[in-house]
Amino acid sequence: MKAIVNVFLKPGVLDSQGKAVHHALGALKFGGVNDVRVGKQIVLDIDAIDEAAARAEITEMCESLLANTVIEDYTIELES
């Protein structure tokens, strides 16, 4: 089973990387960009009995290692 984990900063947490990208886009004359937030995507290929078991295991991975839950949120997408 393929799992896609998207990790991103919580609202209100300063995203200095996003600000740098926003500034660079403006310097390159890309208008209409109001804000930029930068995150990361982690793609996992895992063995799991079913979707519920996969989601539980990946949630544990996120809480333990993949995301800093003090300042980051995450989403999990599963594909068979």
Render pLDDT for 36-64 as a digit per residue (tens, 0 to 9).
999 999 999 999 989 999 999 999 999 99
- In angstroms, the CA 55 to CA 44 distance is 12
DSSP-assigned beta bridge partners for residue 77: 4
- In angstroms, the CA 78 to CA 80 distance is 7
Q: Would the pTM count as exceeding 0.85?
A: yes
- In angstroms, the CA 69 to CA 54 distance is 20
Report pLDDT for 80: 80
Report pLDDT for 57: 97
Residue type, 62: C
Q: Residue 58 is encoded by which pair of tokens?
A: 């990946």
pLDDT band at 24 (very low <50, low <70, confident <90, very high): very high
Whether domain 2-79 has CATH 3.30.1280.10: yes
DSSP-assigned beta bridge partners for residue 75: 6
Tell whether the model's pLDDT for residue 76 goes beyond 90: yes
Q: Residue 40 is encoded by which pair of tokens?
A: 């990361």
State the average pLDDT for the chain. Answer: 97
